[in-house]
A and B are shown apart, each in its own frame.
Chain A
């Protein structure tokens, strides 16, 4: 940057401002700026004002910063410096679109300014303005054809746009200029990047030739081998592929993919042959687990039995705690499950009598083998949801070695599966207190406590591992501890504490915003370090980051909360819908109020204490150098007052629809939002997608019915939309007979409790007079064989007034469930509160 309109003395000062800015010496920078401005001739000097503003911004004086920058700009609208600075200022506030406009204005006055072009390109890739990015990168290349970054940047731009051919041409042209130079890591990365583009473009033959002809220059041998093995396989060159994967296996015998690829490379063999290959690999590395695990997967019958027998004995002797989880994938095969169960039972009896795995075994075992066998047995029965037997064996294990923590965890899990979270918390907390230094136990315990609704207790437990002098919840949020947030949202949702649900969900959302923000620094970094394959991977990951289950969970609770807020708008800010307050007696209301006040007071007290501590801590900390101002906190009580809950829901729904179309839940939620918005085409789309992802999703019955009714009563009668609706509905409901459609659906899915229930709801929607009759058939449904989860599902829906049940109806259903799941708290007639006191 250069100020053209200043005399030498001031110009020198101006250059110093720039230097100070680069070196983060903001105070001195300000001094120099004031020196220029104190000269009456230059007190309105635009570029100086702008730089002063930028410097102030770095000192956290945001308002003054904007004032100065804007004033500077007004005084010199033709200065690229002023525009650039304004752009940088906006960028620092994450206003990317505005910043881009400013950079563009700056370029109007200095079209080849490299720094501005680079800054612009960063924002363009950050905001995924890929076309703009391509143009800027092209210009940068033209300006600096002798720099590697220019070529590579342009190639990346083309690659992200899917212009593979062009991207490869650019890289190859650049590579020609590099010939004769010694091969370094960066050049090697460049070659591999080139190969990865070829693979993506489907040019397997070319890619293979490419990596073979540059074999000596490629230093990342593992990547080279993986690529070669994969490419040979794709080209049907199985022998070569096998050879490469065998080499990879020798480098790392614990990589399951290598083993599978190696076996697959031998063509369409049957499991018998594959097994032999697997065993051959195993012989080469007898201590490796991966080939053995794969062999367990492939083998059947007596071969499986022999293999797994040896395997189990070895692992149980060693006491590998996750053994059960390692083997779990085998259990889908009923025969394998039974074989394992039979073997373990055999060990159990034999160890009890002879201290040996089998009476014929030579070796006597340590007591720990017996212990691990009992735990494993408990897990097997828990897997089958045979709670009684599971508890029997786990209690035996605990009697045997009451100091061993694992059985406490297993016992906790058994209770969780049986639906008794209170008891589950008790046992996981026993485990936690036996080793307070164990972070895993702590997290598990906190998670279970949240599930059981013990929010305070969970926070207390977490506080052992969070920073001192700060409330645990704040620290967990700061650390982006997502599971804690989503689990909290879950329990607040259950308690119908809408403000807090939204608070937690928006906190999760904010973390995703931050994760996407954080990629900013990687654009220049990756280009410099030439880690291009990883960089492309990062860009793609960020593009789909909201497809992560944490976002999905938060979105689910948030959207359902907004739906609720739409259906039952809030009257005041106390977090309860009208209906419930009205239903309360005066006394109950008073009780609730005072309870709330007490809780609020306690919270405030804790906050105050923590603040005192953290203030003390803050004093020691220096002001962050770039003066970032903390973002405004998310306040659930404000969010819940929304006037447009459905619009707010879109913030969560849009990413789900874009990034998690494979989840049935996405389309379930989408339908409910669009139905309320009266967006007919989108309703149709949601039902169609729901059917495609999983046609057995129970809610489809109701949604299809609602859709059909909607078309019948409110559908558009003419115009292009009506045409489309007609065609689409013709595909969805060929006979245009929803009753018939429901009947067919019933014959396909009606034996499943959840589906049966939703079918009843659909009929009730269709014929409201039949509601009582529908409800009765739900109450008459034979529950045996239903899962705990589906019983809870129906109970939840009944509780939220689906099918208009009376309290007696709900009690009837609940007691049938209780008979089936005697331990589950959800169906217990007594109040759960009393029980938690007992504990």
Chain B
């Protein structure tokens, strides 16, 4: 057992430290994100966060709001943690944050994301938090194998219905 509980904290992404996010994403995800991605991240406020493990950046989440077919959903673009720091609760901390925002906002119908079909680790992780596979997108990825992605979603509707009663 580890000596004591680690300190995991979330922190802001700023123009000063955004390079740490780039470095992180480069090693965590097989996909490379363009400059626009990082520019936008600076404007989404609480929807993008860094995770610090004993003061070191080891994880991050970046979301955006997605409007489609009359639905308003929270889309998780990236959520990741450096390899050596997995299974310490960093991912949970980040996902909790996302779910808290969605709840506080109250206007989201669901949270969803894409996961490469071979990514068991992520599937297990999201499964734990009640995300369901609702679709499979063929050839979702252009440069990596396998190219198919699952769409995972956690519906927030029932909560909303209850609230409005």
By the criterion CB–CB under 8 Å, are A434 and B19 in contact?
A: yes
Per-position binary interface string of chain B over residues 113-151, scored 1 when its CB falls under 8 Å from any chain A CB and 0 otherwise? 000000000000000000000000000000000000000
Q: How far apart are the CA atoms of A371 and B27 in the complex, in Å?
A: 17
Per-position binary interface string of chain A over residues 396-419, scored 1 when its CB falls under 8 Å from any chain B CB and 0 otherwise? 000011111000000000000000
- Supposing A319-B54, A367-B85, A368-B54 touch, asked if A403 and B3 sit within 8 A by C-beta, the answer is no
The distance from the CB of A465 to the nearest CB of chain B, in whole angstroms, is 12
By the criterion CB–CB under 8 Å, are B16 and A370 in contact?
A: no
Per-position binary interface string of chain B over residues 5-34, scored 1 when its CB falls under 8 Å from any chain A CB and 0 otherwise? 010000000111101100110110000000
The residue of chain B having its C-beta at the shortest distance from the C-beta of A361 within the complex is B3
Q: How far apart are the CA atoms of A655 and B23 in the complex, in Å?
A: 51
B88 to chain A: which residues have CB within 8 Å? 366-367
Interface size class of B (residues with CB under 8 A): 20 to 34
By the criterion CB–CB under 8 Å, are B1 and A363 in contact?
A: yes
By the criterion CB–CB under 8 Å, are B84 and A403 in contact?
A: no
- Supposing A434-B23, A436-B15, A436-B16 touch, asked if A401 and B6 sit within 8 A by C-beta, the answer is no
Chain A binding surface SS class? loop
The residue of chain A having its C-beta at the shortest distance from the C-beta of B57 within the complex is A403
A435 within 8 A of B: yes
Q: How far apart are the CA atoms of A400 and B82 in the complex, in Å?
A: 8
Q: How far apart are the CA atoms of A433 and B18 in the complex, in Å?
A: 9
A363 to chain B: which residues have CB within 8 Å? 1-3
B38 within 8 A of A: no
Q: Which of B41-81 contact A (CB under 8 A)?
A: 53-58
By the criterion CB–CB under 8 Å, are A317 and B15 in contact?
A: no
A365 within 8 A of B: yes
Q: B3: which of A317, A402, A433, A434 is its contact (CB, 8 Å)?
A: A317
The distance from the CB of A626 to the nearest CB of chain B, in whole angstroms, is 40
Q: B58: which of A319, A401, A435, A436 is its contact (CB, 8 Å)?
A: A401
B55 to chain A: which residues have CB within 8 Å? 319
B53 to chain A: which residues have CB within 8 Å? 366-368
The residue of chain B having its C-beta at the shortest distance from the C-beta of A368 within the complex is B54
The distance from the CB of B19 to the nearest CB of chain A, in whole angstroms, is 5
By the criterion CB–CB under 8 Å, are B56 and A403 in contact?
A: yes
A436 to chain B: which residues have CB within 8 Å? 15-17
Q: How many residues of A contact B (CB 8 A)?
A: 20
A317 to chain B: which residues have CB within 8 Å? 3
The distance from the CB of B42 to the nearest CB of chain A, in whole angstroms, is 13
Q: How far apart are the CA atoms of A366 and B26 in the complex, in Å?
A: 23
A364 within 8 A of B: yes
Q: B82: which of A364, A403, A435, A437 is its contact (CB, 8 Å)?
A: A403
The residue of chain B having its C-beta at the shortest distance from the C-beta of A317 within the complex is B3
A435 to chain B: which residues have CB within 8 Å? 16-17, 20
B56 to chain A: which residues have CB within 8 Å? 368, 371, 401, 403-404
By the criterion CB–CB under 8 Å, are B2 and A403 in contact?
A: no
Q: How far apart are the CA atoms of A162 and B27 in the complex, in Å?
A: 69
A403 to chain B: which residues have CB within 8 Å? 20, 23-24, 56-58, 82
By the criterion CB–CB under 8 Å, are A366 and B54 in contact?
A: yes
Q: A402: which of B15, B17, B23 is its contact (CB, 8 Å)?
A: B23
The distance from the CB of B110 to the nearest CB of chain A, in whole angstroms, is 31
The listed residue with most A CB atoms (<10 A of its CB), out of B6, B16, B24, is B16
B58 to chain A: which residues have CB within 8 Å? 401, 403
Q: How far apart are the CA atoms of A370 and B84 in the complex, in Å?
A: 10
Q: How far apart are the CA atoms of A367 and B89 in the complex, in Å?
A: 13
- Supposing A402-B24, A402-B27, A403-B82 touch, asked if A437 and B57 sit within 8 A by C-beta, the answer is no
By the criterion CB–CB under 8 Å, are B2 and A437 in contact?
A: no
By the criterion CB–CB under 8 Å, are A365 and B20 in contact?
A: no
By the criterion CB–CB under 8 Å, are B14 and A401 in contact?
A: no
Q: How far apart are the CA atoms of A217 and B27 in the complex, in Å?
A: 66
The distance from the CB of A237 to the nearest CB of chain B, in whole angstroms, is 46
The residue of chain B having its C-beta at the shortest distance from the C-beta of A436 within the complex is B16
Per-position binary interface string of chain B over residues 79-100, scored 1 when its CB falls under 8 Å from any chain A CB and 0 otherwise? 0001011001000000000000
B19 to chain A: which residues have CB within 8 Å? 433-434
Q: Which of A360-403 contact B (CB under 8 A)?
A: 363-368, 370-371, 400-403
The distance from the CB of B80 to the nearest CB of chain A, in whole angstroms, is 11
The residue of chain B having its C-beta at the shortest distance from the C-beta of A355 within the complex is B2
8 smallest CB-CB distances across A and B, nearest first, come from A367-B84, A437-B16, A403-B57, A436-B16, A363-B3, A434-B19, A403-B20, A404-B56
Q: What are 7 A-B residue pairs whose CB atoms fall within 8 Å in the complex? A: A366-B88, A368-B53, A370-B84, A404-B57, A434-B17, A434-B23, A436-B15
Given contacts A366-B54, A401-B85, A402-B24, 7 further A-B contacts (CB under 8 A): A368-B56, A402-B26, A402-B27, A403-B20, A403-B82, A404-B57, A433-B19
Q: Which residues of A contact B (CB under 8 A)?
A: 317, 319, 363-368, 370-371, 400-404, 433-437
